[in-house]
Amino acid sequence: MSRSWERSRGRHRPGRRSGPRSLRHRSITLHRRTLAKLLAVGVVVAALAAGGATAFASDSVRDAIASNLSGVGKGLGAGSDSPSDGDSSSGDEQADVPPVLTASPLAGATGVKPRDAVRTTVTSGELRDVALTNTDGDAVKGELAPDGRTWSVSEPLGYDATYRWSGSWVRPDGTVTPLTGQFGTVDPARTARASMNIRDGATVGVGAPVIITFDRDLSAKAKADVERALSVRTSKQVEGAWAWLPDTADGSRVHYRPRTYWPANTTVTVDAPLYGLDLGDAGYPAKDLSSTFTVGRSQIVKADAQSHQLVVVRDGKTVSTYDASYGKESDPRRVTRSGTHVVMSKSQKVLMTNRDYGYVDLPQYWAVRISNNGEFIHANPASTSSQGNSNVTHGCVNLSTKNARAYFDTAIFGDPVEVTGTTEKLSAADGDIYDWAITWADWKSMSALARAS
């Protein structure tokens, strides 16, 4: 120990000579023993503070603490400049530190969350054949650390289940202690269902958003916890972000979109490990979600209401130009919304109703939905004479039957449809997918993590 530390304890005073060498040696030995005792107490206290069940190779917790505190008290006797008689042996400089086994959670614990940290650890020796099993005998996946002293669960536990430890702790002296104890997991009062819009193996357009919806409203904290768990991996470099759109009557929803359109021919993997997350009043999710899909060719529709045409651009080249008629500008309720829509779905036949304008269940064919406010690109023979020269529709984009079918055959979910030249803008009032109508700065501000920071 340094001389400066000893001066602070009154061992060396200016102008006073040190004692004999043996006394100095005993003084140094005293401090080493004191620190070793303190270390022993620290090990015990740390094990208890870790929140796990604790076992000692020999003494009970009480005896281990009492023994070490007693030793520390002797070493720090008031004003003592030398150890007690017969305490000069250097072989006694290290205090015995009891080996410790800890397990988390505590034996007998209940209400453990499926994603809580579950592990068992020893301070010496090694763990062997560790297993954590439920009452059906199914083993939980886990990993043993390289030093053989910590075994940790590597997958979420089940709801409303009891788990038991087994295996053994082999101490340095060869003593074998079996691992025992059990605990129970939380039994959720309610569960939340979540779903993802893009199925595994799908091919989508370059404007496709990833949408995860919940059947319950989530709190700000729950949204942040969910977002932390989400991940998106892509085969090509993509800058993207999650944004929570306003809750609907159906529940909460979070969307992911790139800053610009997805690169064509990109593989995307979305992982949503939601099972076991505590969503507060919304409950616990019933399952994880995952999807690996492909962004296909780049097909973008340029829909210019002023030119009365619809142009299809595929992989940067114009492949089709169709005469079209858009919504009638003299009636704000009939104006086709300007902005970037995306193809949402398509059907060979759709029954359209607008009682205010006098039609109910009117069949329309080769219909491609581009918003939830009733906008489609579809065939309408009744407006053929206006297609290419005037806008007369109720908000849809009308094509001839031949052209509508030709376009229908090429459209897939997520294809952007960029409408320009009208007086009304696409907005949240127009349905579920208005992602591309939001600026990138605003989009990033809609992250639950951005709002929490």
Active site residues: 378, 396
What's phi and psi for 4, nearest 5 deg? -60, -40
| Count of C-beta atoms within a 10 Å radius of residue 89 | 10
List CB contacts of 366: < 8 A, sequence separation 6 or more: 348, 378, 379, 401, 404, 405, 407, 408
List CB contacts of 308: < 8 A, sequence separation 6 or more: 323, 324, 325, 326, 387, 388, 389, 390, 391
What's phi and psi for 406, nearest 5 deg? -60, -45
The token pair that represents 401 in the structure block: 């039957």
- DSSP letter at 162 equals E
Residue type, 356: D
Residue with tokens 């003592």: 80
The closest alpha carbon to 336, from 309, 386, 375, 370, belongs to: 375
Paired strand residues for 346: 368
| Count of C-beta atoms within a 10 Å radius of residue 313 | 17
Q: Sign (positive/negative) of CA torsion 316, 319, 322, 327? A: negative
Residue with tokens 């309720």: 333
Alpha carbons 209 and 437: distance in angstroms, whole number: 12
Length of the chain: 453
Could you check whether the bond before residue 20 is cis, i.e. omega within 30 degrees of 0? no
The closest alpha carbon to 82, from 37, 19, 39, belongs to: 19
Alpha carbons 378 and 365: distance in angstroms, whole number: 6
Q: Are 450 and 441 in contact (CB under 8 A)?
A: no
Q: Are 370 and 342 in contact (CB under 8 A)?
A: yes
Terminal Cα-to-Cα distance of the chain (whole angstroms): 46
